[in-house]
Amino acid sequence: PPNFRANNFSAGPSSIPEEVLTVVQRDLFNFDNTGISVMEMSHRSKSFTKVFKEAEEDFRKLYDVPDNYYVLFMQGGGTGEFAAVYLNLINSKVIRQKQRDSSNPLKCAYIVSGSWSKLAKKECERLGGQTHLIVDCQDSASGKYLTVPPVSDWDILPTQDLAYVYYCDNETIGGLEFESDSVYPHFDNSVPIVCDISSNALTRKVDFSKFGIVYAGAQKNMGPSGLTVVVVRKDLVERDSIAQSQINPLPGFPSVLDYKYFVDGGFMPHTPTTFSIYVCGLVFKYILQKGGVDEMNRLSVQKSSLFYNLIDSNPQFLNNSIDKRYRSRLNCVFTLTNPSLDSKLLQDAANNNFFEIKGHRSTGGFRASFYNAITVNQVSLFVEFLSKFIQENS
Ligand code: PLP
């Protein structure tokens, strides 16, 4: 066991459970009795094939992913998926058939609840997509994302005009998280709903049957960066004869972003992120053993409540102005009412072994991320430290 470990509240890449790191350390030089490290091993080898297969099976088990959905292990992170979502859907048979019936280009509709959904929309526009803003949750006075306007204020276009509806379930920078199952009921179920769960993956149940595509970068709740897990409904990967033709390859659509390239290539058409898949596979087993996604939800609620209780009991010192309904369980943002104490807090925190609590460079302030690898005890210790800091500096 290591003799020094920091309380690392990084928003990503972030903490990995120590139980998992211990296995990684044990296997580092000699994986599966091969005398080869998993990161030195062919992705076609017997040992890695088993890792890959089990990672998919365990992910499916954790989330109870329905049979009519593929689970793809891709690269390119969340940003890669901003493009992939658009390119795959707009080239899919389902959407192209719908497009033929309509004189106007179908709209790619976005709910913007923070920086990442805003960037996803921008990426779609960069690729030539016709976007539609359903609702922008940005508060015009503060520039922050503090709540979600009532659905009566959303601009919901008729189903026949929409290619898909996109949103981000948990905004990592601003700290705004939708309530479970709160978005899809507002849309006709014939429109594919796309959801980015990068920063709240494996922290609560997802009813995949309500979604077209759900995806997550691994580097927050699942393991090291590199891997992106994509869950996509099978019919959305089908192409019509024109888009499928080898003679007319789809312009501007790289194979590495193409879900069909993965499906047709036996889910591993090129070299995957072997090390990341291996570690994520261990994390999946760890979460299964700890009680699964429901247990992670229970712990997430417990950790974030401990923290928000501290904030709300010290309004003269700490502030989080996000509507309580939408406060993230994973990324707890806060500011000091006296910002001249900001650097002292960072320094005192470091002296007490609490790291990575600085807010995102675009927002300032502070952010503590309590992903699955962070224990209730670590959050309690941090709350204790902050209470003491408040007493000493009030
Ligand atoms: N979506 C969310 C919710 C994120 O938090 C991030 C990154 O932190 C991204 C997308 C972009 O992911 P990446 O940096 O892997 O491209």
Chain segment 170-227, per-residue pLDDT in tens = 999 999 999 999 999 999 989 999 999 999 999 999 999 999 999 999 999 999 999 9
Candidate list 107, 116, 258, 260, residue with the active-site label: 116
pLDDT of residue 1: 52
Ligand 1, atom nearest to 119 Cα: 10
Q: Which residues contact 391 (CB under 8 A, 6 or more apart)?
A: none
Give the residue whose CA is nearest to atom 3 of ligand 1.
Answer: 198
The half-sphere exposure of 390 on its side-chain side, counting CA atoms within 13 A, is 19
Asked if residue 247 has pLDDT above 50, the reply is no
pLDDT of residue 99: 83
Check if the beta carbon of residue 221 is closer than 8 Å to that of residue 203.
Answer: yes
Report the top-level CATH class of 292-393.
alpha beta
Q: Which amino acids bring their CB within 6 angstroms of ligand 1? A: 12, 77-79, 116, 168, 172, 196, 198-199, 217
Residue 50 falls in the annotated catalytic set: no
Give the residue whose CA is nearest to atom 7 of ligand 1.
Answer: 78
**CATH code for 39-287?**
3.40.640.10
Dist. CA 57 → ligand 1 center (Å): 24
Dist. CA 98 → ligand 1 center (Å): 30
Distance of alpha carbon 267 from the chain centroid: 21
ipTM of this complex prediction, to 2 decimal places:
0.99
**One-letter amino acid identity for 263?**
V
pLDDT of residue 104: 79
Q: What is the CA radius of gyration of the chain?
A: 22
Dist. CA 212 → ligand 1 center (Å): 19
Work out the burial of residue 102: count CB atoms within 10 Å of its CB; fewer than 13 is exposed, 13-18 middle, 19 or more buried: exposed
Candidate list 196, 258, 285, 303, residue with the active-site label: 196
Dist. CA 196 → ligand 1 center (Å): 9
Of 131, 114, 92, 225, which is closest to residue 173 (Cα–Cα)? 114
Give the residue whose CA is nearest to atom 5 of ligand 1.
Answer: 172
Average pLDDT over residues 225-252: 82
**One-letter amino acid identity for 21?**
L
- Bond before 192 cis per omega within 30 degrees: no
Check if the beta carbon of residue 156 is closer than 8 Å to that of residue 134.
Answer: yes
Give domain limits for the chain: 39-287, 292-393
pLDDT of residue 101: 66
When the pLDDT of each residue in the chain is averaged and rounded to a whole number, the result is 95
Distance of alpha carbon 241 from the chain centroid: 34
Average pLDDT over residues 57-64: 98
Mutate to test the pocket of ligand 1, among 14, 122, 198 (most ligand atoms within 8 A of CB): 198
Residue 155 falls in the annotated catalytic set: no
